[in-house]
A and B are shown apart, each in its own frame.
Chain A
Amino acid sequence: MDISTAQALVLGLGLYTGLGVLVALPFVLRGAGRVDPGAERAPWSFRLLILPGAVALWPLVARWWLRARRREGP
Protein backbone atom coordinates (compact mmCIF):
# COMPACT_ATOMS: atom_id res chain seq x y z
CA MET A 1 0.00 0.00 0.00
CA ASP A 2 1.46 3.42 -0.90
CA ILE A 3 1.96 6.08 1.74
CA SER A 4 -0.81 8.43 0.62
CA THR A 5 -3.40 5.60 0.72
CA ALA A 6 -2.15 4.56 4.16
CA GLN A 7 -2.36 8.17 5.38
CA ALA A 8 -5.91 8.52 4.03
CA LEU A 9 -6.96 5.25 5.70
CA VAL A 10 -5.49 6.24 9.06
CA LEU A 11 -7.08 9.70 8.83
CA GLY A 12 -10.45 8.17 7.95
CA LEU A 13 -10.21 5.71 10.83
CA GLY A 14 -9.27 8.52 13.21
CA LEU A 15 -12.22 10.66 12.11
CA TYR A 16 -14.65 7.75 12.37
CA THR A 17 -13.40 6.87 15.85
CA GLY A 18 -13.45 10.52 16.99
CA LEU A 19 -17.06 10.94 15.87
CA GLY A 20 -17.80 7.58 17.45
CA VAL A 21 -16.54 8.74 20.84
CA LEU A 22 -18.63 11.93 20.56
CA VAL A 23 -21.80 9.90 19.90
CA ALA A 24 -21.01 6.91 22.14
CA LEU A 25 -20.31 8.79 25.38
CA PRO A 26 -23.75 10.45 25.67
CA PHE A 27 -25.33 7.29 24.27
CA VAL A 28 -24.01 5.00 27.00
CA LEU A 29 -24.85 7.62 29.67
CA ARG A 30 -28.40 8.47 28.52
CA GLY A 31 -29.35 7.02 25.16
CA ALA A 32 -28.96 3.32 25.94
CA GLY A 33 -31.71 3.51 28.59
CA ARG A 34 -34.07 5.14 26.09
CA VAL A 35 -33.34 2.60 23.40
CA ASP A 36 -33.59 -0.41 25.72
CA PRO A 37 -35.48 -0.20 29.05
CA GLY A 38 -33.22 -2.96 30.40
CA ALA A 39 -30.32 -0.48 30.29
CA GLU A 40 -32.15 2.33 32.11
CA ARG A 41 -30.84 1.63 35.60
CA ALA A 42 -27.82 -0.42 34.57
CA PRO A 43 -24.59 0.07 36.54
CA TRP A 44 -21.61 2.09 35.27
CA SER A 45 -19.68 -1.14 34.66
CA PHE A 46 -22.30 -2.16 32.08
CA ARG A 47 -22.07 1.27 30.40
CA LEU A 48 -18.29 0.98 30.26
CA LEU A 49 -18.61 -2.46 28.71
CA ILE A 50 -20.89 -1.34 25.86
CA LEU A 51 -18.82 1.80 25.14
CA PRO A 52 -16.39 0.20 22.61
CA GLY A 53 -19.30 -1.32 20.68
CA ALA A 54 -21.11 2.03 20.68
CA VAL A 55 -17.97 3.74 19.29
CA ALA A 56 -17.61 1.09 16.58
CA LEU A 57 -21.29 1.13 15.60
CA TRP A 58 -22.00 4.82 16.22
CA PRO A 59 -24.07 5.45 13.06
CA LEU A 60 -26.36 2.61 14.12
CA VAL A 61 -26.70 3.62 17.79
CA ALA A 62 -27.33 7.24 16.72
CA ARG A 63 -30.20 5.98 14.55
CA TRP A 64 -31.61 3.88 17.41
CA TRP A 65 -31.44 6.86 19.74
CA LEU A 66 -33.13 9.24 17.26
CA ARG A 67 -35.86 6.68 16.65
CA ALA A 68 -36.44 6.26 20.41
CA ARG A 69 -36.64 10.04 20.84
CA ARG A 70 -39.17 10.34 18.04
CA ARG A 71 -41.23 7.57 19.65
CA GLU A 72 -41.23 9.37 22.99
CA GLY A 73 -42.24 12.68 21.36
CA PRO A 74 -41.08 16.17 22.35
Chain B
Amino acid sequence: MSHGYKAVGWNRQKRLYDGVLAAGVATYLLLFCGGMLLTRDTATLETALIRDLGTCALLLLHVVLVVGPLARLDRRFLPLLYNRRHLGVTTFLLGLAHGTFALVQYHAGGNRPWLVSLLSANPRLGSFSQFPFELLGVLALLILFLMAATSHDFWLANLGAPVWKALHMAVYLAYALLIAHVALGVLQAETHPALAGALVAGASTVVGLHLLAGWRERAGDRPAEARLPSSSEADGGFLEVCRLGEIPEKRARIVTVGGERVAVFRYDGKVSAVSNVCRHQNGPLGEGRIVGGCITCPWHGYQYLPETGSSPPPFAEKVPTYRVRLEGDRVLVHPFAHPPGTRQEPACSDMATLATAPPASIES
Protein backbone atom coordinates (compact mmCIF):
# COMPACT_ATOMS: atom_id res chain seq x y z
CA MET B 1 0.00 0.00 0.00
CA SER B 2 1.16 3.50 -0.74
CA HIS B 3 2.99 4.52 2.43
CA GLY B 4 6.75 4.81 1.87
CA TYR B 5 7.52 3.16 -1.45
CA LYS B 6 9.89 0.23 -1.82
CA ALA B 7 11.20 -1.28 -5.05
CA VAL B 8 9.29 -4.51 -4.38
CA GLY B 9 7.35 -5.38 -1.23
CA TRP B 10 8.84 -8.84 -0.95
CA ASN B 11 7.07 -11.51 1.05
CA ARG B 12 7.06 -15.31 1.03
CA GLN B 13 4.31 -15.55 -1.61
CA LYS B 14 6.08 -13.16 -3.99
CA ARG B 15 9.38 -15.03 -3.64
CA LEU B 16 7.61 -18.31 -4.31
CA TYR B 17 5.73 -16.82 -7.27
CA ASP B 18 8.88 -15.38 -8.82
CA GLY B 19 10.82 -18.58 -8.13
CA VAL B 20 8.25 -20.67 -10.00
CA LEU B 21 8.16 -18.09 -12.81
CA ALA B 22 11.97 -18.03 -13.20
CA ALA B 23 12.17 -21.83 -13.12
CA GLY B 24 9.38 -22.14 -15.70
CA VAL B 25 10.97 -19.60 -18.06
CA ALA B 26 14.44 -21.17 -17.73
CA THR B 27 13.05 -24.67 -18.38
CA TYR B 28 11.14 -23.49 -21.46
CA LEU B 29 14.15 -21.64 -22.89
CA LEU B 30 16.45 -24.63 -22.41
CA LEU B 31 13.99 -27.17 -23.80
CA PHE B 32 12.98 -25.08 -26.84
CA CYS B 33 16.51 -24.04 -27.78
CA GLY B 34 17.97 -27.51 -27.19
CA GLY B 35 15.10 -29.19 -29.03
CA MET B 36 15.41 -26.89 -32.05
CA LEU B 37 19.18 -27.37 -32.31
CA LEU B 38 18.90 -31.14 -31.96
CA THR B 39 16.03 -31.69 -34.40
CA ARG B 40 16.89 -29.20 -37.16
CA ASP B 41 20.11 -29.51 -39.08
CA THR B 42 19.81 -26.03 -40.54
CA ALA B 43 19.13 -24.24 -37.24
CA THR B 44 21.82 -21.94 -35.87
CA LEU B 45 22.17 -20.95 -32.23
CA GLU B 46 21.23 -17.35 -33.11
CA THR B 47 18.00 -18.35 -34.88
CA ALA B 48 17.11 -20.80 -32.11
CA LEU B 49 17.63 -18.10 -29.46
CA ILE B 50 15.56 -15.53 -31.35
CA ARG B 51 12.63 -17.94 -31.74
CA ASP B 52 13.07 -19.31 -28.22
CA LEU B 53 12.81 -15.88 -26.59
CA GLY B 54 9.99 -14.74 -28.89
CA THR B 55 7.79 -17.78 -28.33
CA CYS B 56 8.42 -17.67 -24.58
CA ALA B 57 7.36 -13.99 -24.46
CA LEU B 58 4.22 -14.72 -26.48
CA LEU B 59 3.33 -17.72 -24.32
CA LEU B 60 3.79 -15.67 -21.16
CA LEU B 61 1.64 -12.88 -22.59
CA HIS B 62 -1.14 -15.44 -23.05
CA VAL B 63 -0.78 -16.36 -19.36
CA VAL B 64 -0.88 -12.67 -18.37
CA LEU B 65 -4.10 -12.22 -20.35
CA VAL B 66 -5.97 -15.32 -19.22
CA VAL B 67 -5.15 -15.04 -15.50
CA GLY B 68 -7.73 -12.27 -14.98
CA PRO B 69 -10.77 -14.02 -16.50
CA LEU B 70 -9.70 -17.38 -15.03
CA ALA B 71 -9.62 -15.91 -11.53
CA ARG B 72 -13.10 -14.46 -12.05
CA LEU B 73 -14.42 -17.82 -13.21
CA ASP B 74 -12.71 -19.91 -10.52
CA ARG B 75 -11.28 -18.56 -7.27
CA ARG B 76 -8.56 -21.24 -7.27
CA PHE B 77 -6.72 -19.17 -9.91
CA LEU B 78 -6.54 -16.10 -7.65
CA PRO B 79 -2.95 -16.83 -6.50
CA LEU B 80 -1.81 -16.45 -10.13
CA LEU B 81 -3.20 -12.93 -10.15
CA TYR B 82 -1.31 -11.90 -7.01
CA ASN B 83 1.94 -10.94 -8.73
CA ARG B 84 0.80 -10.57 -12.33
CA ARG B 85 2.92 -7.44 -12.78
CA HIS B 86 6.08 -9.56 -12.51
CA LEU B 87 4.67 -11.78 -15.25
CA GLY B 88 4.17 -8.68 -17.38
CA VAL B 89 7.66 -7.30 -16.73
CA THR B 90 9.17 -10.73 -17.52
CA THR B 91 7.19 -10.80 -20.79
CA PHE B 92 8.63 -7.41 -21.75
CA LEU B 93 12.20 -8.45 -20.87
CA LEU B 94 11.89 -11.63 -22.95
CA GLY B 95 10.45 -9.61 -25.85
CA LEU B 96 13.27 -7.08 -25.52
CA ALA B 97 15.87 -9.86 -25.63
CA HIS B 98 14.13 -11.35 -28.70
CA GLY B 99 14.10 -7.98 -30.45
CA THR B 100 17.72 -7.18 -29.55
CA PHE B 101 18.99 -10.53 -30.82
CA ALA B 102 16.99 -10.14 -34.04
CA LEU B 103 18.26 -6.56 -34.51
CA VAL B 104 21.89 -7.66 -34.12
CA GLN B 105 21.43 -10.77 -36.25
CA TYR B 106 19.67 -9.16 -39.19
CA HIS B 107 20.60 -5.44 -39.12
CA ALA B 108 24.02 -5.01 -37.53
CA GLY B 109 26.08 -5.95 -40.58
CA GLY B 110 24.99 -3.17 -42.97
CA ASN B 111 26.19 0.37 -43.50
CA ARG B 112 23.08 2.00 -42.03
CA PRO B 113 22.43 2.51 -38.31
CA TRP B 114 20.71 -0.61 -36.93
CA LEU B 115 17.37 1.00 -36.12
CA VAL B 116 17.23 2.86 -39.45
CA SER B 117 17.96 -0.44 -41.20
CA LEU B 118 15.20 -2.17 -39.21
CA LEU B 119 12.62 0.48 -40.08
CA SER B 120 13.55 0.82 -43.75
CA ALA B 121 14.59 -2.73 -44.74
CA ASN B 122 11.16 -3.72 -46.01
CA PRO B 123 9.28 -0.84 -47.70
CA ARG B 124 6.23 -2.96 -48.73
CA LEU B 125 3.78 -1.22 -46.41
CA GLY B 126 0.99 -1.67 -48.97
CA SER B 127 1.34 -5.45 -49.16
CA PHE B 128 -0.51 -7.78 -46.80
CA SER B 129 1.49 -11.03 -46.97
CA GLN B 130 4.81 -9.20 -47.25
CA PHE B 131 4.03 -6.43 -44.78
CA PRO B 132 7.07 -5.42 -42.70
CA PHE B 133 6.06 -7.52 -39.67
CA GLU B 134 9.06 -6.23 -37.73
CA LEU B 135 7.30 -2.87 -37.30
CA LEU B 136 4.37 -4.62 -35.60
CA GLY B 137 6.78 -6.25 -33.17
CA VAL B 138 8.50 -2.92 -32.45
CA LEU B 139 5.15 -1.24 -31.73
CA ALA B 140 4.10 -4.09 -29.42
CA LEU B 141 7.44 -3.92 -27.62
CA LEU B 142 7.04 -0.16 -27.09
CA ILE B 143 3.62 -0.74 -25.51
CA LEU B 144 4.96 -3.54 -23.30
CA PHE B 145 7.84 -1.25 -22.27
CA LEU B 146 5.46 1.54 -21.30
CA MET B 147 3.43 -0.91 -19.23
CA ALA B 148 6.45 -2.47 -17.52
CA ALA B 149 7.97 0.96 -16.83
CA THR B 150 4.77 2.20 -15.18
CA SER B 151 3.89 -0.99 -13.32
CA HIS B 152 5.06 0.31 -9.92
CA ASP B 153 2.46 1.63 -7.48
CA PHE B 154 4.14 5.07 -7.68
CA TRP B 155 2.75 5.43 -11.21
CA LEU B 156 -0.66 4.10 -10.24
CA ALA B 157 -0.91 6.65 -7.42
CA ASN B 158 0.31 9.62 -9.46
CA LEU B 159 -1.28 8.93 -12.82
CA GLY B 160 -4.55 8.07 -11.07
CA ALA B 161 -6.37 4.74 -11.31
CA PRO B 162 -8.47 5.54 -14.44
CA VAL B 163 -5.49 6.77 -16.53
CA TRP B 164 -3.23 3.97 -15.27
CA LYS B 165 -5.87 1.36 -16.01
CA ALA B 166 -6.54 2.80 -19.49
CA LEU B 167 -2.80 2.79 -20.21
CA HIS B 168 -2.50 -0.84 -19.15
CA MET B 169 -5.50 -1.87 -21.24
CA ALA B 170 -3.16 -1.27 -24.19
CA VAL B 171 -1.90 -4.79 -23.50
CA TYR B 172 -4.73 -5.99 -25.76
CA LEU B 173 -3.43 -3.82 -28.60
CA ALA B 174 0.08 -5.19 -27.99
CA TYR B 175 -1.34 -8.72 -28.08
CA ALA B 176 -3.13 -8.09 -31.41
CA LEU B 177 0.06 -6.58 -32.87
CA LEU B 178 2.07 -9.61 -31.74
CA ILE B 179 -0.40 -12.08 -33.25
CA ALA B 180 -0.10 -10.16 -36.56
CA HIS B 181 3.72 -10.03 -36.12
CA VAL B 182 3.85 -13.83 -35.85
CA ALA B 183 1.25 -14.49 -38.57
CA LEU B 184 2.93 -12.19 -41.10
CA GLY B 185 6.45 -13.09 -39.98
CA VAL B 186 7.54 -16.54 -38.96
CA LEU B 187 4.35 -18.26 -40.18
CA GLN B 188 5.09 -17.12 -43.74
CA ALA B 189 8.26 -19.26 -43.63
CA GLU B 190 7.15 -22.03 -41.26
CA THR B 191 4.02 -23.36 -42.94
CA HIS B 192 3.34 -26.41 -40.75
CA PRO B 193 -0.39 -26.28 -39.89
CA ALA B 194 0.31 -27.11 -36.22
CA LEU B 195 2.01 -23.72 -35.75
CA ALA B 196 -0.89 -21.76 -37.24
CA GLY B 197 -3.25 -23.98 -35.22
CA ALA B 198 -1.41 -23.18 -31.98
CA LEU B 199 -1.63 -19.44 -32.71
CA VAL B 200 -5.36 -19.65 -33.42
CA ALA B 201 -5.94 -21.85 -30.34
CA GLY B 202 -4.09 -19.36 -28.13
CA ALA B 203 -6.02 -16.36 -29.45
CA SER B 204 -9.32 -18.27 -29.18
CA THR B 205 -8.57 -19.16 -25.56
CA VAL B 206 -7.84 -15.53 -24.67
CA VAL B 207 -10.96 -14.21 -26.42
CA GLY B 208 -13.19 -17.08 -25.22
CA LEU B 209 -12.23 -16.77 -21.56
CA HIS B 210 -12.76 -13.00 -21.62
CA LEU B 211 -16.20 -13.42 -23.19
CA LEU B 212 -17.17 -16.14 -20.70
CA ALA B 213 -16.01 -14.15 -17.66
CA GLY B 214 -17.77 -11.04 -18.98
CA TRP B 215 -20.99 -12.96 -19.56
CA ARG B 216 -20.87 -14.44 -16.04
CA GLU B 217 -20.21 -11.02 -14.53
CA ARG B 218 -23.00 -9.41 -16.54
CA ALA B 219 -25.43 -12.06 -15.32
CA GLY B 220 -24.61 -11.04 -11.74
CA ASP B 221 -25.13 -7.37 -12.55
CA ARG B 222 -28.91 -7.50 -12.44
CA PRO B 223 -29.96 -4.63 -10.19
CA ALA B 224 -31.33 -5.38 -6.74
CA GLU B 225 -34.85 -4.38 -7.81
CA ALA B 226 -34.85 -6.81 -10.71
CA ARG B 227 -33.43 -9.68 -8.69
CA LEU B 228 -36.08 -9.37 -5.97
CA PRO B 229 -39.24 -8.08 -7.65
CA SER B 230 -41.30 -8.45 -4.48
CA SER B 231 -39.25 -5.72 -2.82
CA SER B 232 -38.91 -3.36 -5.76
CA GLU B 233 -40.72 -0.69 -3.82
CA ALA B 234 -38.20 1.74 -2.41
CA ASP B 235 -38.13 1.65 1.39
CA GLY B 236 -37.03 5.13 2.44
CA GLY B 237 -34.69 5.01 -0.48
CA PHE B 238 -33.26 1.67 0.72
CA LEU B 239 -33.34 -1.35 -1.60
CA GLU B 240 -33.47 -4.95 -0.51
CA VAL B 241 -30.40 -6.66 -1.91
CA CYS B 242 -30.39 -10.14 -0.37
CA ARG B 243 -31.16 -12.23 2.72
CA LEU B 244 -28.68 -12.16 5.59
CA GLY B 245 -28.20 -15.92 5.39
CA GLU B 246 -26.95 -15.51 1.82
CA ILE B 247 -23.81 -13.76 3.06
CA PRO B 248 -21.24 -16.14 4.58
CA GLU B 249 -19.49 -14.95 7.75
CA LYS B 250 -16.49 -12.67 7.06
CA ARG B 251 -17.33 -12.63 3.36
CA ALA B 252 -19.48 -10.53 1.06
CA ARG B 253 -22.24 -10.68 -1.45
CA ILE B 254 -21.76 -8.46 -4.49
CA VAL B 255 -24.91 -6.63 -5.54
CA THR B 256 -25.68 -3.85 -8.00
CA VAL B 257 -27.42 -0.79 -6.64
CA GLY B 258 -27.75 2.52 -8.44
CA GLY B 259 -25.77 1.02 -11.33
CA GLU B 260 -22.70 0.40 -9.14
CA ARG B 261 -21.32 -2.87 -7.80
CA VAL B 262 -21.46 -2.89 -4.02
CA ALA B 263 -19.85 -5.43 -1.68
CA VAL B 264 -22.05 -6.18 1.34
CA PHE B 265 -19.91 -7.74 4.08
CA ARG B 266 -21.10 -9.70 7.13
CA TYR B 267 -18.74 -9.95 10.09
CA ASP B 268 -18.92 -10.29 13.88
CA GLY B 269 -22.72 -9.85 13.94
CA LYS B 270 -22.53 -6.72 11.78
CA VAL B 271 -23.18 -5.84 8.13
CA SER B 272 -21.42 -3.06 6.16
CA ALA B 273 -21.38 -2.10 2.49
CA VAL B 274 -18.58 -0.54 0.45
CA SER B 275 -17.83 -0.05 -3.23
CA ASN B 276 -16.73 -3.29 -4.83
CA VAL B 277 -13.80 -1.56 -6.56
CA CYS B 278 -10.41 -1.60 -4.84
CA ARG B 279 -8.46 1.67 -5.12
CA HIS B 280 -5.31 -0.19 -6.05
CA GLN B 281 -6.03 -1.93 -9.36
CA ASN B 282 -9.84 -2.03 -9.39
CA GLY B 283 -9.81 -5.51 -7.81
CA PRO B 284 -13.18 -6.99 -6.73
CA LEU B 285 -13.28 -6.31 -2.97
CA GLY B 286 -16.46 -8.39 -2.60
CA GLU B 287 -14.53 -11.49 -3.63
CA GLY B 288 -12.16 -10.91 -0.72
CA ARG B 289 -12.53 -11.69 2.98
CA ILE B 290 -12.44 -9.92 6.32
CA VAL B 291 -8.96 -10.54 7.70
CA GLY B 292 -7.95 -9.02 11.04
CA GLY B 293 -11.08 -6.84 11.02
CA CYS B 294 -10.32 -5.44 7.56
CA ILE B 295 -11.81 -6.11 4.12
CA THR B 296 -8.90 -7.62 2.21
CA CYS B 297 -8.74 -7.39 -1.59
CA PRO B 298 -8.21 -10.82 -3.14
CA TRP B 299 -5.83 -9.46 -5.77
CA HIS B 300 -3.01 -7.79 -3.82
CA GLY B 301 -4.16 -7.73 -0.21
CA TYR B 302 -5.06 -4.02 0.05
CA GLN B 303 -7.14 -3.54 3.20
CA TYR B 304 -10.06 -1.33 4.24
CA LEU B 305 -12.06 -0.96 7.46
CA PRO B 306 -15.63 -2.06 6.67
CA GLU B 307 -17.26 0.79 8.64
CA THR B 308 -15.29 3.62 7.01
CA GLY B 309 -13.96 2.24 3.74
CA SER B 310 -10.54 3.62 4.76
CA SER B 311 -7.28 1.72 4.85
CA PRO B 312 -5.94 1.38 8.40
CA PRO B 313 -3.25 3.97 9.27
CA PRO B 314 -0.66 4.82 8.05
CA PHE B 315 -2.14 3.92 4.65
CA ALA B 316 -4.38 6.40 2.88
CA GLU B 317 -6.55 4.50 0.36
CA LYS B 318 -10.32 5.01 0.67
CA VAL B 319 -13.38 3.59 -1.07
CA PRO B 320 -16.99 4.87 -1.12
CA THR B 321 -19.33 3.54 1.56
CA TYR B 322 -23.08 2.80 1.63
CA ARG B 323 -25.74 2.91 4.37
CA VAL B 324 -27.06 -0.51 5.35
CA ARG B 325 -30.20 -1.53 7.25
CA LEU B 326 -31.49 -4.90 8.42
CA GLU B 327 -35.17 -5.78 8.70
CA GLY B 328 -35.40 -9.30 10.05
CA ASP B 329 -33.16 -11.22 7.70
CA ARG B 330 -33.63 -8.74 4.85
CA VAL B 331 -30.50 -6.73 3.99
CA LEU B 332 -31.24 -3.25 2.63
CA VAL B 333 -28.70 -0.90 1.07
CA HIS B 334 -29.20 2.77 0.22
CA PRO B 335 -28.08 3.37 -3.38
CA PHE B 336 -26.36 6.69 -2.59
CA ALA B 337 -22.58 6.25 -2.57
CA HIS B 338 -21.01 8.33 0.20
CA PRO B 339 -17.61 9.92 -0.50
CA PRO B 340 -14.65 7.56 -0.01
CA GLY B 341 -13.78 7.09 3.65
CA THR B 342 -17.15 8.29 5.03
CA ARG B 343 -18.04 6.41 8.22
CA GLN B 344 -21.32 4.46 8.16
CA GLU B 345 -22.68 2.72 11.23
CA PRO B 346 -22.84 -1.01 10.46
CA ALA B 347 -26.22 -2.72 10.74
CA CYS B 348 -26.27 -5.07 13.71
CA SER B 349 -27.72 -8.47 13.04
CA ASP B 350 -29.81 -10.69 15.31
CA MET B 351 -27.55 -13.62 16.10
CA ALA B 352 -30.50 -15.93 16.69
CA THR B 353 -31.73 -15.29 13.13
CA LEU B 354 -28.27 -15.91 11.77
CA ALA B 355 -27.92 -19.24 13.55
CA THR B 356 -30.90 -20.63 11.66
CA ALA B 357 -29.95 -19.17 8.29
CA PRO B 358 -29.09 -21.71 5.61
CA PRO B 359 -25.50 -21.69 4.28
CA ALA B 360 -24.96 -19.87 1.02
CA SER B 361 -22.20 -19.33 -1.47
CA ILE B 362 -20.71 -16.07 -2.60
CA GLU B 363 -21.99 -14.50 -5.75
CA SER B 364 -19.17 -13.32 -7.94
Contact = CB atoms under 8 A, between A and B. Distances in A.
A22 interface: no
12 contacts: A1-B123, A10-B119, A32-B154, A38-B2, A39-B5, A42-B4, A43-B6, A46-B5, A52-B148, A53-B152, A56-B145, A56-B149
Given A42-B5, A46-B6, A48-B7, A1 B125 contact: yes
A35 interface: yes
Given A1-B135, A38-B2, A42-B4, A10 B155 contact: no
A38 B68 CA distance: 29
B6 A50 contact: no
B120 A3 contact: yes
A10 B135 contact: no
Given A38-B4, A42-B4, A50 B154 contact: yes
A19 to B, nearest CB: 16
Interface of B: 2-8, 112-113, 115-116, 119-120, 123, 125, 132, 135, 145-146, 148-150, 152, 154-155, 157-158
B120 A38 contact: no
B100 to A, nearest CB: 16
Contact of B5 (A7, A38, A64): A38
Contacts of A10: 113, 115-116, 119
Nearest to B314: A38
Question: How many interface residues does chain A have, given as a range?
Answer: 20 to 34
Contacts of A9: 119
B116 A6 contact: yes
A71 interface: no
Interface in A25-54: 32, 35-36, 38-39, 41-43, 45-46, 48-50, 52-53
Interface of A: 1-3, 5-7, 9-10, 13, 32, 35-36, 38-39, 41-43, 45-46, 48-50, 52-53, 55-57, 64
Contact of A1 (B4, B112, B119, B150): B119
A70 B243 CA distance: 53
> Which of A41, A43, A49 has the most chain B CB atoms closer than 10 A to its own CB?
A49
A64 B149 CA distance: 17
Nearest to B125: A1
B231 to A, nearest CB: 45
A55 B328 CA distance: 59
Contacts of A3: 112, 116, 120
Contacts of B6: 42-43, 45-46
Nearest to A13: B115
Nearest to B89: A49
Contacts of A32: 154
A6 B158 contact: no
A32 B132 CA distance: 40
Contacts of B158: 35-36, 64
A25 to B, nearest CB: 15
A56 B135 contact: no
Nearest to B147: A53
A21 to B, nearest CB: 13
Nearest to B154: A50
B146 to A, nearest CB: 6
Contacts of B7: 43, 45-46, 48-49
Nearest to B6: A46
A28 to B, nearest CB: 10
Nearest to A28: B154
The 9 closest A-B pairs by CB, nearest first: A45-B7, A6-B119, A53-B149, A6-B120, A52-B149, A42-B5, A53-B150, A6-B116, A46-B7
